[in-house]
Amino acid sequence: MLLHDINFKFPIKVDEKIFATVDPNITVVSVIGKTNLTNQLPPKVACINDYFQRSVICYDEQKQTEESTIEGYYCPRKKILFLYSVSVYDTNTLDGLFNKLEENLSEKGFLYCFSSLKDLATRHLLFLFLVSHIVVVTNPSSNFDLNNIQLFKTLENVRLKVQSSVAEVLKTVPGLPKVTYKFFNYHHHTNSLFAIPSNQEFVFFPAPHKDQFSFLLDLLNETLEICPSDPPEFREFLDQHVQLAQTKGFSDNVGRHAGPSPFVVPPASVWFEAAFKLFDLFTNEHPEESNKGFQLLRSLLDVEGQFSESRCSKVLPLALAAYQENLPPHYSSQQHETKKSHAKTLLSGHGRGPAVARFISRLDAECDRIWRNGRRMCEAPSLSGNPCIQPVHRASDEPSAEPSTKLPILPHVSGVRYVSA
């Protein structure tokens, strides 16, 4: 597949023949951020279009039916690969997923569904931080979203847990410079998720989009100005960082004893092979150390779920005790269902959050196990319709539905006595 002039979805299958003759060293720029419903075009897409000063990405929100995706655009002339995330952090994407998830929402609740969606979206964000030279964070307004600070802290904590797994994956990529994966464990500056440029501008405020009336009004005002200023362009803002990455590279160690700062602009073929393997590590389950990092991610993101899990874990033994309270040695299925219903009511009343449904299923299975493990009553009806009160058994003259070694041979006893005067 050709990489230029298309809006591709990552990961894509890239034909090796593409880089057989020309394998340029590419600079990877990722655009992340949140989108509100008032934006006709998501700021992440608008940034890329503004950079090229034409519409290179045609965004159709009607097609955004997946939970979280990474899409991109490659410019062979500038040797820049743009990546951007489309996820539940975008309000319009979350709104479009409601109809798709309506059944799960009614059964399991919003917290359960949203925590799973947010987990995948955050994995994609961490992936973008690891494979990008430059990360652009967009905001729908001029106010910085303080929730990003907590999000970056979460990404940093998880990154430290998965860095050894990432290094092992990168070792399997042929042609990748050793320093690229070695600094994950040994480089001084890897204690930070990202670095802010020390000498370049790193905050950009785009000029507001104006309608025809506003344009004419500004034109009238400019006639009264002596030195009208041109609005800032995003292309000029980003180019200073891209050119630095393609020439000198970034040196973010600015301390007194700063060591060498390894910075690699990899060939396109090497980058894509490494990115594919990392994407598989971050999106598929692996029985490795990386799972510890993703378990940490889940616990950090799903605070409500962790509280629900803890609360229900404390209530479950109380519900089981309520089920077993004042039970005879053997009891009927009707009494079993009555006691089980009482225990479920207790768990539902004192449990909280999305874990209640799962713990009710555990309670149901545990109550059934207790009843079937030697507490069942025979309940075979007598000629007068009274049930047998013996433990479940079989009579000597009737076959058993279960293996005969498990059931004792006993006579049926209803326990009803008729007294006549």
Domain parsing of the chain, residue ranges? 8-196+232-301, 303-372
| C-alpha 183, offset from chain centre | 27
Q: How many Å apart are CA 219 and CA 398, to the nearest integer? A: 101
3-class SS of residue 59: coil
Give which of 10, 7, 92, 3 is closest to 57, Cα–Cα: 7
Q: What is the pTM of this model?
A: 0.69
Reduced DSSP (H G I as helix, E B as strand, rest coil) percent helix, strand, coil of the chain, to 5: 50, 10, 40
Strand order in the sheet with 134-138: 8-10, 69-75, 80-86, 27-33, 134-138
H or E segment and range at residue 137: strand 134-138
Here the tokens at position 232 are: 């800032």
Residue with tokens 């652009």: 136
Q: How many Å apart are CA 122 and CA 282, to the nearest integer? A: 10
Asked if 390 contacts 413 with a C-beta cutoff of 8 angstroms, the reply is yes
3-class SS of residue 267: strand
β-strand pairing of 69-75 with 8-10: antiparallel
Q: How many Å apart are CA 178 and CA 165, to the nearest integer? A: 15
Asked if 83 contacts 29 with a C-beta cutoff of 8 angstroms, the reply is yes
> How does pLDDT run along the chain (421 residues), one tens digit per residue?
555 556 678 877 666 655 655 678 888 999 988 877 766 667 788 888 888 888 888 766 655 556 788 888 888 888 889 999 888 888 777 777 777 777 777 776 777 777 778 888 899 999 999 888 888 888 877 777 788 888 888 888 888 888 888 888 888 887 666 544 444 433 344 456 666 666 666 565 565 655 566 666 666 666 655 455 555 688 888 888 888 888 877 766 555 555 556 677 888 888 888 888 899 888 887 656 567 788 888 888 888 888 888 999 999 999 999 999 998 888 888 889 999 999 999 999 999 888 888 899 999 999 999 998 888 888 677 656 677 877 777 766 666 555 555 766 666 666 655 555 5
Q: How many Å apart are CA 101 and CA 104, to the nearest integer? A: 5
